[in-house]
Structure 1
């Protein structure tokens, strides 16, 4: 990168990688990303999304990472291939997107190696856990000690994304400082974290004890995965705004070569 390019990059908004997912429509194969995930990244993180097609594999991941100041892993309707965490598939009726699985795992590992901030939502948090060697409950609702965290399939989007339950933030954590003791969240997932990946720690729990937020405190960069959907009508939710703002701040600090004061570490 030339000096001029470096100066222009430093004076521009952070570039955030977002992977797209596969969707079939009328006999055609599409790569898609839902507007609701991008909107708060633009409006509150003040960043530029760079969408990555996942249908071409991982050969160009490093080139994409060269352009990035952060990685943002969205949710999706598909489940992660259980073979990636050593289990047989217990939900064969659910969609999978194996191309996205491989791209996102490569993005996470590349972001970790480069010190890029990472934000994962729902499926994105689960991907983070798998990338660090953890695994999942494939059917949270079938576990005796856990609640049913799925949305009503017949409900309107407003009902599905409405507040479902409370979560308790881990006291003394940076997310507790940011959000307080307890917040209400939506819940639209059938799977959840069973075993935490190496180096990950919980930041919040649901009322039944299911992990609702994670980070990697041993890494120098900002890391956050949340099981709920803060992107849904983020402008109407002060907690969501805080999450996207702090992610944007971390990405700006990384882009400028500064310090991640939020985590108290260099980024």
Structure 2
């Protein structure tokens, strides 16, 4: 993704919308957002996170979107309700967060309409795919030919989030120009993209063929979804720094970039 600074670029910090998720603690429902997701938005993207609770429905989604310069869909421990992509639930043991599903799908629709930059990580990438009509493998680890991409919960965080497997970016794509043809990523997910949503294209694959990154070259805005977790210790990872810098630049209106189809889009 070649980045070109423009003289008309905004100088102020952009505001980036993030949604919180439900978590029960001591018999009380909490709305939470993990520090590790916010940190690179502040420290690398140079932006201000605006947190939206998802427990009050979608009535105020437009008000939130009117206040922001970009949308950041984080990961989470919950799975997306499979009824949203026409399937029965094959992982009843995993938690779900229907309120987050409802709000995030509405946010994605509004962000696409407003041409706001969108960055989705892990569950966030999957939400983007579902919002545009795609489907998921609910159990990648049970699908023939695919590896087990889940983390070992018995290991410490630095092991869970350590480099796990290589990915290959699509040759000639802006992501390949940004982070190279091949790089190592972490892997902490049981689900993954099966069929791509409307207007989405793959930007990177794992060695087993699973889609690891997507974009939306036909939508005229910065759209990036990654299946790994670049937010983990992002300041120590050159690829993560480039990804969050690119997102921050797009949210400031500074970035001109080429899609995989060589269709020039200006965020």
Give me the TM-score of the superposition, normalised by structure 1: 0.93
Contact residue 170 and residue 202 of structure 2 kept, 8 A? yes
1:175 matched to 2:170? The reply is: no
Instruction: Give the number of the structure whose residues are more often helix, by fraction.
Output: 1
What stretches of structure 1 move > 4 A for 4+ residues in a row? Answer: none
> What per-residue deviation string (whole Å, max 9, x for no partner) do you get for residues 151-192 of structure 1?
011111011000110000000100000011100000000000
Q: CA deviation at 1:249?
A: 0.2
Q: CA deviation at 1:89?
A: 0.2
- What is the SS of the residue equivalent to 2:119? strand
- What does residue 5 of structure 1 align with? none
In structure 2, how many angstroms separate the alpha carbons of the residues matched to 1:153 and 1:12? 40
In structure 2, how many angstroms separate the alpha carbons of the residues matched to 1:200 and 1:34? 28
1:135 matched to 2:135? The reply is: yes
- What does residue 102 of structure 1 align with? 102
Q: CA deviation at 1:144?
A: 1.1
- What does residue 265 of structure 1 align with? 265
In structure 2, how many angstroms separate the alpha carbons of the residues matched to 1:182 and 1:173? 12
Gaps of 5+ in 2: 1-9, 259-263
- What does residue 148 of structure 1 align with? 148
In structure 1, how many angstroms separate the alpha carbons of the residues matched to 2:11 and 2:256? 20
Q: CA RMSD in A?
A: 0.9
Aligned length: 253
- What does residue 208 of structure 1 align with? 208
Contact residue 257 and residue 266 of structure 2 kept, 8 A? no
- What does residue 4 of structure 1 align with? none
Bigger relative contact order, structure 1 or 2, given CA contacts below 8 A and separation 6+?
Answer: 2
Q: CA deviation at 1:219?
A: 1.0
- What does residue 7 of structure 2 align with? none
- What does residue 126 of structure 1 align with? 126
- What does residue 91 of structure 2 align with? 91
Gaps of 5+ in 1: 1-9
- What does residue 49 of structure 1 align with? 49
- What does residue 3 of structure 2 align with? none
In structure 2, how many angstroms separate the alpha carbons of the residues matched to 1:160 and 1:13? 32
Q: How does 1:8-27 map to 2 (within 5 A)?
A: 12-27=12-27
In structure 2, how many angstroms separate the alpha carbons of the residues matched to 1:140 and 1:125? 15
In structure 2, how many angstroms separate the alpha carbons of the residues matched to 1:265 and 1:88? 38
- What is the SS of the residue equivalent to 1:195? coil
Contact residue 167 and residue 212 of structure 2 kept, 8 A? yes
In structure 1, how many angstroms separate the alpha carbons of the residues matched to 2:199 and 2:65? 22
Q: CA deviation at 1:11?
A: 5.2
Give me the TM-score of the superposition, normalised by structure 2: 0.93
